[in-house]
Structure 1
Amino acid sequence: MLPNIAIIGRPNVGKSTLFNRLVGKKLALVDDRPGVTRDRREGPANLLGLEFNVVDTAGYEDEDAKSLPGRMRKQTEMAVAGAELAIFVIDGRAGLTPLDEEIARWLRSSKTPVVLLVNKAEGRAAESGILESYSLGFGDPIPFSAEHGDGV
C-alpha cells in the first residue's frame, strides 16, 4: 500500500495543477474560478523514485459546516487525517492571507507532518510571499511553479 500525501491550501493556489503534474496527466480540473474542485481526487505518483498516492483536495474555506464549502472543508480535513504527509500550498505572488494563516494554525494542531510549498514562484513577483511564508512555522518553504514545473 502506497503512502498518502494530501495537497491542501486555500482556493486557487495551484493544488490541482500540482496534482496533475505529480500524477503525470490531467485528472483534476484546473480553472481560474475558485471552487472547481469539490471532492477529493486521488492518483498514483512517482517523484524522484518515490512512489505514493497523491490526494487533491478542495480549497479550504472558513464556512458553515452545512454549506457546500463547509462540506468541502470537512473532506479536506479527512484527507489530511488519513495522510502520512500534507503538502500545504500557498500562492507566492499573493503573499500570505488570513485564510493561509488559519490553515497553518489548523495544520499545526494536526498530527500529520507538513511540507510548505510556495507556488507561482517563478520570477521576482513571489519573493515577498516566500519570505512571508517563514512566519507560518513550517521551516524552509519550497518555492516552485506547478504550471511550469520549476522546483518540482
Structure 2
Amino acid sequence: MDGIEARKQVFLIGATNRPDIVDPAILRPGRLDKILFVGFPAPEDRADILRALTKNGSRPKLAADVSLDEVAADANLEWFTGADLAALVREACVAALKEKLSLKSAEDGKSDVVGRSEVRKEHFQEAARNVRSSVNPADRVRYELLRQTYSSSQK
C-alpha cells in the first residue's frame, strides 16, 4: 500500500460498522480506490433479510397471516440493521412461546407445549414495539455526513 513497488491484481477489502473511527491514513488519496457506503436497508432489502433469517418463513414457522413484505414496510423499522431484524425475529419467537406457555398453564398442563407453534403477525407487532434500532439518532446523522463526505471524495 505504500506505492513503492507496483503490485497488480492485489485487492484489499475492508468493512466496518464504525466508519468514524477508521484511521485517516488508510483514507488518504491513493490508498483505497473505492469507498462504498452501505446505508440502512430499504423495505425491499429488509424483506429479503427477513426471508433469509426465517429460511423463507419455515424456521421459525410463520403463520399464514404473516407477510414479511408488510413487516419490512413498517415505518418503525426504517433504521433497523440486519442484526436488529434478527433481534426482531427472535423477539417475535419469544412472544409466540410465551403465549403458548401461558395457554398451557391456563389449561392446567393439558396442552402439548413440545409441539411447534407458529409465529403470527401479532407476535411481530409486539416484537416491533419492544425492539429498538441499535443505531441511535446521533450516529445516524454522523454516518450520513460521512456518507456525503465519501461520496463527494469519490467524484
- Shorter-chain TM-score tier: under 0.3
Tell which structure's C-alpha radius of gyration is larger.
Answer: 2
TM (norm. structure 2) is 0.21
TM (norm. structure 1) is 0.21
- Choose between structure 1 and 2: higher strand proportion: 1
- Choose between structure 1 and 2: higher helix proportion: 2
